[in-house]
Amino acid sequence: MEEVSREVAEALLNIGAVKISIDPPFQWVSGIKSPVYCDNRMLISYPEVRDLIVKAFARILSRKVRDGEMQDPDYIAGTATAAIPWAAFLAYELKKPMVYIRPEKKQHGTGKQIEGDLKPGSKVLIMEDLISTGGSSIKAAEAVKEEGKSEVLGVFAIVSWELAKSEENFKAAGIPLRTLTNFSELVGLAVEKGVIAGDNLDNIYKFNRDPQGWWGEFNG
C-alpha cells in the first residue's frame, strides 16, 4: 500500500492540513506539546480525497479478510468526533451497520458510551483519524468490550505519528493497528516539497524521538 501512503500524505499537504508551529507549539488531546499538527478533519471537505481514503480502507479490509488476517466485521465503529465521518463513509461503502464511541459515558439520558445499536457478541472494526499515543483508541476498544460485550478486530486510521508509546499501547492491548500513511511518509514528502526545512525539520525529528521531552528541551 506504499502508493496509497504517498497519495494520502500528498493530499494532506496539498490541502494545507499539515501545520507547523514551533513556539507556541500545538497541544494534543493527550497533553503532549508538538511542533507539528495534522488536521485530518479538513479531508471530509474534499470528495476526491475522501473517496481515495474510503476505497483504500475497503481494499485493505477485503484483503485482510481474504488472507485470513482478520475476520469480517459486523460493525464499523468511529471514535467521536473526528472518526465518525470515516466510520460512516466506510460503513456505507461496505453496506455494514455503524456505531460511534464517545470518549466517556454520557452523564445524562441513557448514560451510554456507545451510540447506535451494537448487538452483544458482534465483531467490531474501530476507525480513528489519527494515532498519536493510541490512548483514545484503547479506551474505545475497552468500551466495545465492556459496554458493548463485543470483540474488537482492530483499529484502522488515516495517519500514525509512529510514536513509540502508541506501539507499546497497541501491543499491550493486543489490538492490531493499520494506518494509510505515517509520520515518515508525511515528513519525507514535506521535505521533498520544501514545506519543512531547517530548524523546523530538526525540531520535528527531535519531537518524534522524544515527544514528552521535546518542549522542555526546546525551552531549556
- Quote the percentage of the chain above a pLDDT of 90: 92
pLDDT tens digits, 155-173: 999 999 999 999 999 999 9
| Fold (CATH) for 2-219 | Rossmann fold (3.40.50)
Give yes or no for residue 1 having a pLDDT over 80. no
Name residue 18's beta-bridge partners: 38
Domain map (residue ranges) of the chain: 2-219
Give yes or no for residue 86 having a pLDDT over 70. yes
Give yes or no for residue 215 having a pLDDT over 80. yes
Locus of grid cell 488536521: 39
Mean pLDDT to the nearest integer, 73-102: 99
Helix axes 2-14, 183-192, angle to 10 degrees: 60
pLDDT, residue 125, reads 99
pLDDT, residue 219, reads 84
The answer to whether the CB of 94 falls within 8 A of the CB of 58 is: yes
In the predicted model, what is the mean pLDDT of the chain? 96
Rounded distance between C-alpha atoms, residue 129 and residue 57, angstroms: 12
Query: Can you give the pTM of this predicted structure?
Result: 0.95
71 pLDDT band, cuts 50/70/90, is: very high
Helix runs in the chain, H state only: 2-14, 47-66, 84-94, 135-146, 164-173, 183-192, 198-209, 214-219
